[in-house]
Amino acid sequence: MNSNVIITCAVTGAGDTVGKHPEIPVSAEQIANSALEAASAGAAIVHCHVRNLETGRGSRDVSLYREVMERIRAKNTDVIINLTAGMGGDVEIGGGQNPRQFDEEFTDLVGPVERLLHVAELRPEICTLDCGTLNFGDGNGIVVQTPNQLREQAELIRSYGVKPEMEIFDSGNLWFASQMCKEGLIDEPPMFQLCLGIPWGAPVNTETMAYMVSQLPENAVWAGFGIGRMQMPMVAQAMLLGGHVRVGLEDNLYLDKGVYASNGSLTERACTIIHSLGASVASPDEARSILGLTPLK
């Protein structure tokens, strides 16, 4: 069991959750305020996407990321900021017998440099690196990350002085992420996030998480989460298996059945679980030490 647990709060994501929850953070101000709420509740890391204010969809707008970071840092200089780099790999395959006729409204496919423009400019302490191509959801949408693209992204992220959090959506993702470690593309200690329950990646259950943990490199620092109603059970499961945890509105909209959550309330619930199992919640500085990040001056 892990006795000092890092909580990451994934604040908003890019999924189709606007309208499914009355207070999904959409504007940069809302996202920053929700991140600050989670930090005050005990999150050492806040994982941030940004959204287009008019459509509510995920965005790669560097100015929005900058505003989120500036608003967070204006009130909290301690919490670790983790910016997504998952945007820019979306492809909506054409329907029926016309798979090459991509739906341009939902397709956003760019190269590694453009995908990381906000990371290059803003230099967060952590950014994500989604480690494989995935059938994302139950329609024609896929998220594309080829091995060569991932190698290039890993090299770019290192050159920016940022730590990659390798997002693992299935066992093949984990295999390739471990291969990048072997190739020396990832600085030690490597940081893994086990993402369970996203259709059609790895299912969310004890057996899957335990298997993935068994395949991690020996020196890995890892966290895990489950989506929806499995979010809190996976908090307990991850720490019992020796890992860290992630909660937040990106992955789950409810605190209890029929009760909408906030990022603060989800973080507080995770703290309660961790403390009830006899462990402590890591501070941002403790998290930096665990992850091998440079301490703040």
CA-CA-CA-CA torsion sign (22, 26, 29, 35): positive
Does 128 fall in a domain? Answer: yes
Q: Tell me the two tokens of residue 182.
A: 């072997």
For the entire predicted model, the pTM comes to 0.97
* pLDDT tens digits, one per residue of 86-116: 999 999 999 999 999 999 999 999 999 999 9
Q: Is residue 156 a contact partner of residue 116, using CB atoms and an 8 Å limit?
A: yes
Both tokens assigned to 263: 């990022």
Alpha helix (H) residue ranges in the chain: 28-41, 62-75, 112-115, 117-122, 147-159, 171-182, 206-214, 231-240, 263-276, 284-291
**Residue where the block lists tokens 């009760």:** 259
pLDDT in tens, 74-91: 999 999 999 999 999 999
Is the residue at 146 inside a domain? yes
Share of the chain above pLDDT 70, in %: 100
pLDDT in the model for residue 41: 98
pLDDT number for residue 294: 87
- Residue 297 predicted with pLDDT over 70: no
Whether 225 is in a domain gets the answer yes
- Tell me if 241 is assigned to some domain: yes
In a domain, 296, yes or no: no
- β partners of residue 221: 191
Number of domains in the chain: 1
Residue 249's domain spans which residues? Answer: 4-291
CA distance linking residue 56 with residue 101, whole number of Å: 25
User: What is d(CA 123, CA 103) in angstroms, rounded to the nearest whole number?
Assistant: 32
State the pairing for strand pair 4-5/80-83.
unpaired
174 part of a folded domain: yes
Place of tokens 């992420």: 177
pLDDT, averaged across the chain: 97
Q: Is 297 inside any structural domain?
A: no
Instruction: Give the CATH number of the domain where residue 39 resides.
Output: 3.20.20.70
